Amino acid sequence: MLIFEHSQSGRRATAQAPVDEAVVDDLPAELLRDDVPALPEVSEMQVVRHYTRLSQKNFSIDTEFYPLGSCTMKYNPRACNTLAMLPGFLAHHPLAPASEGQGVLACLYDLQEMLKGVTGMQAVSLAPAAGAQGEFAGVAMIRAYHDARGDAERDEILVPDAAHGTNPATATMCGYKVHEIPTGADGDVDVDALRAAVGPRTAGIMLTNPSTLGVFERRIEEIAGIVHNAGGLLYYDGANLNAILGKVRPGDMGFDVIHMNLHKTFSTPHGGGGPGAGPVGVSARLESFLPVPLVAFDGDEYSWITDRERPQSIGRLSAFAGNVGVLLRAYVYARMLGREGMHRVAEFATLNANYLMKRLQEAGFDLAFPDRRATHEFIVTLKRQQKEQGVSAMDVAKRLLDFGFHAPTTYFPMLVPECLLIEPTETESPEELDGFVEAMAKILDEAEQNPDHLHEAPHTRPVRRLDEVRAARELDLRWVAGGT
């Protein structure tokens, strides 16, 4: 039920009522509205109950285990939020001169330095306002690099077929043709196919390592050599950075450019279309192309670097300096962890994933890559259950909701049929993981005893199985008073 549907004509929340009528006689008459906007007319208590009830329907990391593979749904420490909202940060005006914002600039500079250190890149820009913009900036820099060298023939970006869909989308946005590279049976990139694909048209390759299959690309140095020898550059998609934080560095693997999703690895708020941050890091040859502004420090004072100092920069991606409030949260998180803490993130993320993988295998689930060690996530395939019992990955995912667990990622990556991509993250306890295994074992039992019970799941949630086809075909996004 929408708050509009609680509306009763004439009902008011007095606490919100204006004290005086606003004076608007300085506005042109034709711009003034002559009717009252159709806002819900409800009491204060109705508002409180409505939104409290809605919040209780939330299925979130604050209430439930959320092993949504590829999304790194870890706990975000409250301190990040609290400290990023200190009055000095909140009141800082983005147009204030650098001399009046030394505190904010110092935090941003340190964040640049910490991200450089943990990724092994030469330089970092915090400007991209989301992961997607970071990807765009990364490929735009690859293009700028080739253009600056007069190397205009390169019109292809190589993308492994296991990649996130954003990679081919970004390459296309930047005007490149996408050439897909197949994956071998062991989950690694097919290096022979890569060797055959590179050439004078290769601008670069976009790689995620660990890949979306939950395995580490073991021949990464060889891959880097093949692409570099062909004159191409290597792009690191930071989606799975959590698995290797402080352990292996993309810069050391030979990558030329990386984007980081701070909401995954550095504990900033997830999704909802809200503010994001997708910093980019580069090797020495791409440094001059980094998006501006950057923060500089001369040992005494912090200052902004703009396109005046960096004429080859791909430019600004947004007004001001990206989403500073989000960057501050990541800064606090990185500061709280320190160098050793970052190692522990990767260690416990992979330990939790491997523990969960082993236990689910013992419980009778099939792994997509049983011979490989998991990184921070792994894939279970329900192909056998689908064939034998007619129980799909979607059925298992929906039934998990009844047990109080968010579903893992389903049907991604597309390479594995009937797959669940499971990522526990480092912030879950062994007891929580055991509880998840127990629920999964029960579901496997139900698949044999009573598959229909799974087909109809969820049974205990505010809504039952939704009609996804109808939802996609008949979009219903707007409420109309008295309408249908």
Partner 1 sequence: MSELPGDLKYSKSHEWVRVNDDGTVTVGITDHAQEQLGDMVYVEVPEQGRELEAEEACAVVESVKAASDVYTPLAGTVVEVNEALTDAPETVNQDAYGAGWLMKLKPASPDALDGLMDPDAYQAFIDAE
Torsion sign across C-alpha atoms 383, 384, 389, 391 = negative
Binding status of residue 184 toward partner 1 by CB under 8 A: no
Give least dist CB 178 to partner 1, A.
Answer: 8
Binding status of residue 29 toward partner 1 by CB under 8 A: no
Give least dist CB 211 to partner 1, A.
Answer: 17
Give least dist CB 72 to partner 1, A.
Answer: 21
Binding status of residue 412 toward partner 1 by CB under 8 A: yes
Contact 171, 157 (CB under 8 A): yes
Choose between 165 and 200: whose C-beta lies nearer to partner 1: 165
With contacts defined by CB under 8 A, how many residues of the chain interact with partner 1?
10
Give least dist CB 121 to partner 1, A.
Answer: 32
From the list 16-24, 70-78, 143-151, 412-420, the region that binds partner 1 by CB under 8 A is 412-420
Cα distances from 59 to residues 55, 79, 293, in angstroms, run 9, 22, 37
Q: Can you tell me the distance from the alpha carbon of 211 to that of 371, in angstroms, rounded to the nearest whole number?
A: 16
Torsion sign across C-alpha atoms 62, 260, 425, 334 = negative
Q: What is the DSSP string of 157-185?
A: EEEETTS-THHHHHHHHTTPEEEEE-B-T
Give least dist CB 164 to partner 1, A.
Answer: 12
Binding status of residue 473 toward partner 1 by CB under 8 A: yes
Q: Can you tell me the distance from the alpha carbon of 431 to that of 424, in angstroms, rounded to the nearest whole number?
A: 12
DSSP 346: H
Exactly one of 411, 432, 451, 453 binds partner 1 (CB under 8 A); that residue is: 411
Exactly one of 12, 44, 100, 165 binds partner 1 (CB under 8 A); that residue is: 165
Q: Can you tell me the distance from the alpha carbon of 441 to that of 317, in angstroms, rounded to the nearest whole number?
A: 48
Q: Can you tell me the distance from the alpha carbon of 325 to that of 120, in angstroms, rounded to the nearest whole number?
A: 25
Binding status of residue 336 toward partner 1 by CB under 8 A: no
User: Buried b vs exposed e over 106-129: b needs ≥16 C-beta within 10 Å?
Assistant: ebbbbbbebbbbbbbbbbbbbbbb
Exactly one of 27, 91, 472, 480 binds partner 1 (CB under 8 A); that residue is: 472
Query: Which amino acid, 167?
Result: N
Question: Which secondary-structure segment (H or E) carries 227?
Answer: helix 220-229
Report residue 313 as tokens: 């920069």
Binding status of residue 417 toward partner 1 by CB under 8 A: yes
Give least dist CB 43 to partner 1, A.
Answer: 40
* Residue carrying structure tokens 């008073």: 481
Site map (CB under 8 A) of partner 1, residues 34-53, x = contact: --------------------
Binding status of residue 176 toward partner 1 by CB under 8 A: no
Binding status of residue 468 toward partner 1 by CB under 8 A: yes
Choose between 111 and 454: whose C-beta lies nearer to partner 1: 454
Q: Can you tell me the distance from the alpha carbon of 111 to that of 242, in angstroms, rounded to the nearest whole number?
A: 17
From the list 113-121, 322-330, 367-375, 408-416, the region that binds partner 1 by CB under 8 A is 408-416
With CA atoms as reference, report the closest residue to 221 among 256, 252, 200, 194.
252
Give least dist CB 189 to partner 1, A.
Answer: 19
From the list 26-34, 101-109, 364-372, 465-473, the region that binds partner 1 by CB under 8 A is 465-473
Binding status of residue 455 toward partner 1 by CB under 8 A: no
Binding status of residue 463 toward partner 1 by CB under 8 A: no
Length, in residues, of the chain: 484
From the list 130-138, 149-157, 199-207, 410-418, the region that binds partner 1 by CB under 8 A is 410-418
Give least dist CB 69 to partner 1, A.
Answer: 15
Binding site for partner 1 (CB under 8 A): 165, 410-412, 414, 417, 468-469, 472-473
